[in-house]
Structure 1
Amino acid sequence: MTEQAIFNSIKKALNDAPRNQYTAELHLQMIKYADELKSITAKEFCEGVGLKSSFGTEFSKMRNLTQRLRAAGLDTQLL
């Protein structure tokens, strides 16, 4: 899947998320695509998805958290 296809998929998931679940959905999507997006910066992620640059911190946190979740047995392919 290309970066642009991933960004489009994330945008759709965020648009479809209930208002009170937006941030949770954003975190889930960040974890889901962490492997595919490991070579981009937080700034590039925010620009690609159309988010404020302040969400870059969340992207970095979720990428780090994904490593720990995977070590604990999470299969991100199932998300």
Structure 2
Amino acid sequence: MKPQIFVSIKKALAGAPRNQYMTELHLQMLKYADQLEDITAKEFCEYVELKPSYGTEFSKMRNLIHRLKKAGLEVEKI
């Protein structure tokens, strides 16, 4: 299932307006955080073909998702 996730993320990023790229990246990271909890930030960047520096954003979103869920976020609605 994970290869499909990475394809979906790449597709979403490719379709994002240039000024919304980072927003879309964050959204996709949050959307799939549960399914990607066993990979490293470095692996995420490799699989999605991003610069390694985006690994920091992946780590931030992974930490943030727990707080968002506690506040009532329903990830399946993203």
Q: TM-score interval w.r.t. the shorter chain?
A: over 0.9
Q: CA deviation digits over 1:45-71, x for unaligned, max 9?
A: 000000000000000000000000000
Q: Provide the alpha-carbon RMSD of the alignment.
A: 0.4
State the SS of the aligned residue for 1:69.
helix
**Gaps spanning 5+ residues in structure 2: where?**
none
TM-score of the superposed pair, with normalisation by structure 2: 0.99
Runs of 4+ in structure 1 deviating by more than 4 angstroms, as ranges, are none
Percent of aligned pairs sharing the same letter: 67
Q: Distance in 2 between matches of 1:37 and 1:77?
A: 15
Corresponding pairs, count:
78
Q: Distance in 1 between matches of 2:2 and 2:53?
A: 20
TM-score of the superposed pair, with normalisation by structure 1: 0.98
**Gaps spanning 5+ residues in structure 1: where?**
none
Q: CA deviation digits over 1:19-44, x for unaligned, max 9?
A: 00000000000000000000000001
